[in-house]
Amino acid sequence: AFIRPDTTQSVKSLRIFKCILSLLSIAENDELKQQCKQTLNDLALNTFENSSLNEMYEKFASQLFDDLKQTSNDWLRSTRDRFIFETFIMQAGSSNRFFLKDIIEILRIVMKPDRDPEVRNQCLLIIANLLQFIDDTDTTVIISPYLTILIDECILPNMQWKAGRIAAAIRATAIATLWSLFQAKSFSFEQCTSSMKEILLAVLGMLDDDDRLTRMNSCYVLQALFSNDDAIRTIDNDQLHKIYPDLLKRLDDISDDIRLIICSTLNAYVQAFHGNFSIELYRSHLEDIAKILLIHLDDQNSQIQNTVFDTIVQFATQLENASETFINEIRNVKHKHRNQILCDTLIERIQQSK
C-alpha cells in the first residue's frame, strides 16, 4: 500500500529523496552515483524503519508523482523535474508496476508532438525500460490496459516524418521502442487490434528513412505484424496488395543486410493473405512482383540470390494459382540471366511444390 508522507519527518525525507534523485540524474562520476545510491539506501532505513529501497520508492511515489504532474506541462530538456521523473523510473525497477497509471499519465502529456524534442526522445527510452517488466507475469495484467495508450499516444505520433536530425533521432527511437514492444513475450497483438492499420501506415512510411537502423527496425516490425493472425485479421487482402511496392523498393536498399531482411519480411507478407485469393483480380500485381524479384535473382551477391530464390518460391506456391504466372515470367527473362541453371532450378522447385 502507498503511504503519503504526511509527518514532519516524512516531508523532510521526501525533499531529501527528490534532491538525491536530482543529483543522481546529473551525476557523471561513478563514485558520486554510488554515493547517491548509498544515501538513498540509508534514507530508506532511517525513515521507514528498516524498509528496503524499493519500499521507499513505493511509499514516496504517490506524492512525488502528484508534484511532477503539476509541472509536466512545462517540462523542457533542462527542467529539474523531468530529470527526477526519468531517474525515479530507472532506479525504481520492478516497483514501477505499482504506479504505471501515474507514469503513463505523465508520458501522455510530455510526448505530444509539439513538446520538447529531447524530452520526447528520452521518454521513448523510458517506455523501452518499462517494457522490460511486461514479461514479468505479475505485471502483464497490470500493463495490458495501457499498451494501446502507449502505442497510439506516445509512440505513433513520434514516428511521423519531420525534417531535421532531431526529428530523425526521435523516429529512430520510436520505431526501436515499438519493435521492443512487439518482441515482449507477453505482448499480444489482440490487445491493440484497433491500432493495426495506423501502425502499418506509419511503419511503411519509415521504410524510406535515411537512417539505416530505422529502416531495419521497420522491416522487423512489419515482419512481426504480417506473422501474427490477430494483427493481420484487421487488414484485408486488397490493403495488403496495395503495399507491395513499398516492400519491394527495399530490395534496392544500399545495405545488403536490409535487402536480406526485407526478403524475410516478404516471406511473412505472402503468408498474411487470407480467405479466397483471386488470381484474376491480382494477376498484374503478381507479374510486377515476379519481374522485380527476378531482377534481384540475378544479383552478384550469392546470398541475395539464394534469399530471393526462396522468396520467389514462397510467392509462387503460397498464393493460390500463382505458380504459372511466376513460371512464365521466369521463362521470359531466363535468357538475360547470368545463371540460367538457377532459373531452371527455380522452375523445378515451384513445380515440385505445387
User: Per-residue confidence at 130, pLDDT binned at 50, 70, 90?
Assistant: confident
Q: Which of helix, strand or coil describes residue 136?
A: coil
Nearby residues of 176 by Cβ (< 8 Å), 6 or more positions away: 128, 213, 217
Alpha-carbon dihedral of residues 144, 145, 147, 150, nearest 10 degrees?
-150
Q: Mind listing the pLDDT tens digit for each residue in 43-52? A: 888 777 666 7
Q: What is the mean pLDDT of residues 204-209?
A: 95
Residue 5 has pLDDT above 50, yes or no: no
**What value, to the nearest 5°, has the Cα angle with vertex 165 and ends 161 and 166?**
80
Q: Which of helix, strand or coil describes residue 200?
A: helix
User: Per-residue confidence at 123, pLDDT binned at 50, 70, 90?
Assistant: very high
Please give the Cα distance from 339 to 20 (Å, whole number). Answer: 68
Q: Mind listing the pLDDT tens digit for each residue in 253-281? A: 999 999 999 999 999 999 998 877 777 77
- Chain centre to alpha carbon of residue 310: 27
Residue 25 has pLDDT above 70, yes or no: yes
pTM comes to 0.88
Please give the Cα distance from 305 to 2 (Å, whole number). Answer: 60
Long-range (24+ apart) CB contacts under 8 A made by 65-71 are 65/99, 65/102, 65/103, 65/106, 67/18, 68/106, 69/102, 69/105, 69/106, 69/109
pLDDT at 42: 86
CA nearest neighbour of 20 among 75, 50, 60, 78: 60
Distances (CA, A) of 115 to 106, 108, 198: 13, 11, 22
Residue 346 has pLDDT above 90, yes or no: yes
User: Per-residue confidence at 226, pLDDT binned at 50, 70, 90?
Assistant: very high
Please give the Cα distance from 16 to 28 (Å, whole number). Answer: 20
Q: Nearest 5°: phi and psi at 327? A: -60, -40
Q: Mind listing the pLDDT tens digit for each residue in 278-324? A: 777 778 889 999 999 999 999 999 999 999 999 999 999 988 888 99
Q: Mind listing the pLDDT tens digit for each residue in 327-342? A: 999 999 998 988 889 9
- Other C-beta atoms closer than 10 Å to the C-beta of 260 total 18
pLDDT at 203: 97
pLDDT at 94: 78
